[in-house]
Amino acid sequence: MSTTLTIVIAVVVAVAVLVVAAALLRRARERRQLRRERLSERVGGHRQEAELHSSNAEELTAEAKAKRSQAAAESEAAERHERVAEQHRRRAEALREEFTRATERVEREDELSRRHGEKAGSLEEQL
């Protein structure tokens, strides 16, 4: 073989290797680009999901604050009701005691009425 032919074959092989290498590099670059696009889509999806969860968390936080406020108001109302109930219990006890004393007075008055009725009856008999 001649030197020129060897050089031509070497150049053709080198060009073929460069063409194959360029094609492989282009495919690798396309794969990386496709991978980046897919990852970008996934990132976008995760960001949307994160925003949704953040929005939900804000709504739930507002709802929790409202519930806490309602609970505090209900607790205050319950305490007021307990104080009023205690006042009613004390008043009921006082009224029971007054009733007991009144009942005792009625019994005493009935007894005195009976005695005086008997005395009046006995004095009428003497008349």
Between these two residues, 64 and 124, which has the higher pLDDT value? Answer: 64
pLDDT tens-digit map of 5-54: 899 899 999 999 999 999 999 999 999 999 999 999 999 899 999 999 99
Q: Which residues of 41-70 are buried (b: 16+ CB within 10 A; e: fewer)?
A: eeeeeeeeeeeeeeeeeeeeeeeeeeeeee
Q: What is the pLDDT averaged over residues 76-100?
A: 97
User: What is the structure's pLDDT at 1?
Assistant: 65
pLDDT tens-digit map of 55-82: 999 999 999 999 999 999 999 999 999 9
